[in-house]
Structure 1
Amino acid sequence: MTVQQLRYSKEEFARRGNEVYESQVRPQVEQGNHGKIVAIDIETGAFELAKDTIIASDRLLERYPDAQIWCVRVGHKGVHRFGVGHLQ
């Protein structure tokens, strides 16, 4: 198994990921995919949509083995949720 090497700082990675999602990917996936995960190669703009991060990332890595992957949950601010849920 090959270990992926990150080529960008965390800040640059996040900036690029968000930029690609907002400008290229979001318009294509937003309708009808709320809650699904998009894995995006921040260098090529290629992406995969799936029910979880593992499936989406694996599919993307099959096509682009050296992908620099940024994940987004469609319609949410974060990919994962921590804590007890909604408090009233």
Structure 2
Amino acid sequence: MTKLSTPLPYRLWWECREKLRHLRLHGAVAAYADGQLTGVRHTRVAAHVARCWACSGELIALRLMKASIRGHPHRAPTSPA
């Protein structure tokens, strides 16, 4: 059985393109998790998160943190004595 592989020049171009897309969308994952993105920006970040394991991990971590914070009672800071 032969393994199909992408030619090297195309693969390098694709990897570089993905890195640039990742850098361009960096920081938008938090806004995406908060539901602050709309339209094309929302669609682009959703598509990137679906392909990028680093950003999808960041999104999962943000969602878990937010759920954890929502699940705990609010505590007022103690006043200094």
Does TM, scored on the shorter chain, surpass 0.5? Answer: no
TM-score range, shorter chain: 0.3 to 0.5
After TM superposition, the score normalised by the length of structure 1 is 0.30
Pick the structure with more strand per residue. Answer: 1
Q: Kindly name which structure, 1 or 2, has the bigger radius of gyration based on alpha carbons.
A: 2
Considering fraction of residues, name the structure with more helix. 2
TM-score by length of 2: 0.32
Q: Give the number of the structure with larger relative contact order, counting CA–CA contacts within 8 Å between residues 6 or more apart.
A: 1
